[in-house]
A and B are shown apart, each in its own frame.
Chain A
Amino acid sequence: MSSGNSVSGGLESSEERRHKKLGPLASLFSGSLFARRVKDSHPKEQKDPGWKLFGKVPPREGHIKDPKKIQKEYETKSGRAGPDNPTSPRQSARKNLDFEPLSTTALILEDRPANLPAKPAEEAQKHRQQYEEMVAQAKKRELYNICLARAKEKWKSIAAPASDSEPDDAGSSDRESSLELIKLDISRTFPQLCIFQQGGPYHDVLHSILGAYTCYRPDVGYVQGMSFIAAVLILNLDTADTFIAFTNLLNKPCQMAFFRVDHSLMLTYFAAFEVFFEENLPKLFAHFQKNNLSPDIYLIDWIFTLYSKSLPLDLACRVWDVFCRDGEEFLFRTALGLLRLYQDVLTCMDFIHMAQFLTRLPDLIPADQLFQHIAAIHMSSRNRKWSQVCTT
């Protein structure tokens, strides 16, 4: 794609650039990896496809359209692969792609005026593709913009406390006040980075993403821990992509169980974790049992924030990389790797010191050693894999 002057060339290179920028998050963003994995291991989870954002499942799309595939088809059909066949100047292609209309309704494909000569087939196809790309871009932002607009409405009504009469009935009140809680948590998200706090460059972005999510999924609302996940995504993606990645990530079975605080499901995860804990680290497991140190005490923080709060950020991102590849199992494997790494220290501690240690891990964790210990964890118990243990 060096000279990629055609539209398709421009597309491909921008796509590639984005992939480079996203790194392993790209798969998370597109959702395709997760969609497939989820399908494999939990066929039943798929019954609610309406929530999947831009993944492979939305029913409206009909058949799956991978932009790259479309492009390949187009290239072979039109017989001009990007690099060899420069047609339109790159600049204009770029310009078109940068145009992101706020709503799909703004994109009306008007008929060509009758007094103009017919477009060559190739050009017509090219324009159609440009149009589709624009629609896709707009669609991507559309849902986010709608949700954000709703959130802003709610913020306004909170800011004007004229009608303080809203009944605070138990149960719903927690979810209702989500927007209020977000405000309190934002400045407490990675405070050491000084970018999410009031006045910081990403304060409003984090605020918007979380606010939009509570309007997108009012049934889930804002739950502590989300701010850390959104913050990590913001550090890696642009806003619209962050929203999509965030919603898809929270839609994964394990994350849904935790963020909905589905107690019995969480206990299932903890129990499965303990099976592998005992299998891999029997001595430490016995020590924990003796001291009544149950996994919820340290796992809740680790799983809710995907280690972004408990591990140094660079290490957390490495964990995310493999989590994107291996799925939820890796979160629990990481926990066991951490316990294995600190096994000797922990065995000498009593309950309170262990609890303190695990809820506040050392600032300096030897990364390579940690990953060696994670690698040394066997994720099979009596020939059963994680997913099998989890479902029994």
Chain B
Amino acid sequence: MQNNHHKERLYKILVIGDLGVGKTSIIKRYVHHNFSPNYRATIGVDFALKVLNWDQETVRLQLWDIAGQERFGNMTRVYYREAMGAFIVFDVTRPASFEAVTKWKEDLDSKLTLANGKNVATVLLANKCDQGRDVLTNNGIKMEQFCLENGFVGWYETSAKENINIDEAANCLVKHIIANENDMLQSEVLDTISPQLEKDKGGTCSSCFRSQ
């Protein structure tokens, strides 16, 4: 906050979903701009860092690539802590991985809430869309409806292989995370008297502070 022109934001983002749906591939595409059909299975958790320029700010995304096997659940849930957003990924060619989406979402929401009690922004990724859209077309599921009902802020058909919609999905998530954060700061400033903030702001109103 000392330097208003080069403010840095750091967000922890979870990437979860069933085993083998392409979580690691999506991250590799997003961060390293490449794809390999030969990624190794993730055991535990892997990490990546993506740096974005966002409205003249630097946004750092700490991506937590969490192993998909349900059995690891008890262990990997500690990794949800302090995350600001999440991708839930399924494989359009494997209906079971889509059925698991609601499980992942419920699990996430039960383990993690923002300071204002809201759920973290979550974007649904229908990955491997280059290989067909069986799950999306056969079940007659209206994805918009599904997202609304299950609290996703958006969904994208993605392909890590063909580089489809990965950046778009990430931008959507970041947009919602920032909106959430601004929301929280605003309510904080409105609801509480914080001497420290007052001092820093030097007398400007809360909305001026927000826009800095």
* Contacts between chains A and B (CB distance < 8 A), count: 78
Distance in angstroms from B28 CB to nearest chain A CB is: 11
CB–CB A181/B75 < 8 A: no
Which residues of B (93-140) have their CB < 8 Å from a CB of A?
96, 99
CB-defined interface of B19-44 with A at 8 Å, one 1/0 digit per residue?
A: 11000000000000000001111111
The answer to whether A261 touches B43 (Cβ under 8 A) is: no
| Neighbour of B20 across the interface among A185, A189, A352, CB < 8 A | A185
Q: Is B153 an interface residue (CB 8 A)?
A: no
Q: Mark B151-188, 1 if CB is under 8 A from A, else 0.
A: 00000000000000000000000000000000000000
Cα A177 to Cα B72 in complex, Å, equals: 14
Residues from chain A with Cβ under 8 Å of B40 in the complex: 188-191, 309
B43 adjacent to A356 (CB under 8 Å): no
Q: How far is B43's CA from A297's CA once the two chains are assembled, in angstroms? A: 10
Partner of B49, one of A188, A223, A356: A356
Q: A309-B43, A356-B49 are in contact. Are A296 and B19 (CB under 8 A)?
A: no
Contact among B47, B78, B96 for A352, CB-based, below 8 A: B47
A174-B69, A191-B38 given as contacts; is B19 within 8 A of A300 (CB)?
no
Contacts A261-B71, A261-B74, A352-B62; A189 near B44 (Cβ below 8 A): no
A residues near B45, Cβ cutoff 8 Å: 297, 300, 359
**CB-CB contacts below 8 Å: B32-84 with A:** 38-49, 62, 67, 69-72, 74-75, 78
- A224 with B19: in contact, given A189-B40, A191-B39, A191-B40 (CB under 8 Å)? yes
Question: Contact at B19–A185, with CB atoms within 8 Å?
Answer: yes
Interface residues of B (CB under 8 A from A): 19-20, 38-49, 62, 67, 69-72, 74-75, 78, 96, 99
New contact pairs (16) apart from A181-B19, A352-B49, CB-CB < 8 Å: A174-B71, A188-B40, A188-B41, A221-B71, A225-B41, A227-B41, A261-B71, A261-B72, A263-B74, A263-B75, A296-B44, A301-B43, A304-B43, A359-B45, A359-B46, A359-B47
23 A-B residue pairs with Cβ-Cβ distance under 8 Å, sorted by A, are A174-B70, A180-B96, A184-B19, A185-B19, A188-B20, A188-B38, A188-B39, A189-B41, A223-B69, A224-B67, A224-B69, A224-B72, A261-B72, A263-B75, A266-B75, A297-B44, A300-B43, A300-B45, A304-B44, A352-B49, A352-B62, A355-B47, A356-B47
Residue numbers of A with Cβ under 8 A of B are 168, 173-175, 177, 180-181, 184-185, 188-192, 221, 223-225, 227, 261, 263, 266, 296-298, 300-301, 304-305, 309, 352-353, 355-356, 359-360
